[in-house]
Amino acid sequence: MPTQVKSLVLISQEILTNNIDGLSYVGSVPYSLLRPSLKKATPQQLYLIERLNPHLTPESDELWLRHMSVFKDLLDAYRQGDYQDSRHWRGLYLKRYQENEKRKKIISEKVKSQYNKIQDEKAARSIKVLKGVVRGRTHDTRRFSGTNSNGSSRLFLETKKAASKTITCVGAYRNAIYRSHVQKPYHLNSPLSTTTPLNKTIPSLSPDTVMNVYKPPSQLARSYRTNHARYGSKPTSAPIYSMIPPPPSHSSAIENCTSTWGNTDKLKRLKV
C-alpha cells in the first residue's frame, strides 16, 4: 500500500500545533486553517490569541466548551440544557477561573501563616548553638582583669569575697595569739608583771571583727612607769632663778666707788 503524502496545509498545521506557544498575531489567516491548532491550545494561550486577533472571536467561542467542561457543575448544567449559548462559555470559564484563583490565594495565605507560626514556636523551643566567644555585660577591666562574662565576673567576686573573709579571720586569730603571749598588763600603782598566763582563753572572733594590733612599750616608757610606781609622784621640776644683771662697765664702777666713799664720809660726820 503506497504511503499517503501529507499536504502542505496539514504539515503547516502540525508545526503550528507543536509551536502554539509562539503564536501571536495571525493577520488575515482564516479561522478554518487555525482551528486544528487552536483546539490544542490551553485556555491562557487561546485567550491571548483572541485578544491579539479579535476577528477570530465570533468563531472561536466554540473552543471554550472544552475548557468550561473542566468544572463539573458547569458541565452538569450544560448537559441538563443550561448554558447552550456558545457566547457565554468564555465568560463562565473566566469567572470560575478567577474565583478558584482567589480561593487558592486565601488558602495559601492561611497555610503560610500557620507555617510561620509553627516555625516561630519551634525556634523558641529549639537549642541554639553559638560559635565563638559569647560576651555579656562588660565590666571595668581594671577591677576584673579583663573578665567580661557574667559567669566569670560573678565567680571572681565570690572568690575574692571568700578570700577576704579568710584573711580577716586568720589575721584576727594571729593578733589574739600575739596579744596572749606578748602583751603584759601595766598599772601605775603596781610593779611590772613579767609573766602572762598561757592558758588564757581566746575569745571567739567573727570574720568581720576588727582588732587593733598591740604595740609593746619602749624601754623609755617602761623606765618611766617603773619610776612613777616606785616614787609615787612626778619628778620635781628644776628651780627657777632670778635674772642676773650684766657686769657694770669701767666708768660705772668708778662712779659707784665715788658715791660709796661720799656716803661713808656723811655717815662718819653724823656719828660725830
Q: What is the pTM of this model?
A: 0.42
User: Residues 140-144: contacts with CB within 8 Å, 24+ apart?
Assistant: none
Region of poorest pLDDT, from 85-89, 123-127, 189-193, 200-204: 189-193
Residue 11 scores a pLDDT above 60? yes
When mean pLDDT is compared over 59-68, 133-142, 214-223, 241-250, the highest value belongs to 59-68
144-160 confidence digits (pLDDT tens) = 444 455 556 777 788 87
14-45 confidence digits (pLDDT tens) = 898 898 888 888 888 888 888 898 998 999 99
Domain regions of the chain by residue span: 8-120, 156-231
Residue 102 scores a pLDDT above 60? yes
C-alpha cell at 90: 468564555
Q: Is the dihedral of CA 182, 187, 192, 195 positive or negative?
A: negative
Residue 55: predicted pLDDT: 87
User: Residues 204-211: contacts with CB within 8 Å, 24+ apart?
Assistant: 205/169, 205/172, 205/173, 205/176, 207/165, 207/166, 207/168, 207/169, 208/168, 209/168, 209/172, 211/172, 211/175, 211/176
Residue 29: predicted pLDDT: 87
Residues 181-198 have a mean pLDDT of 46
Residue 196: predicted pLDDT: 45
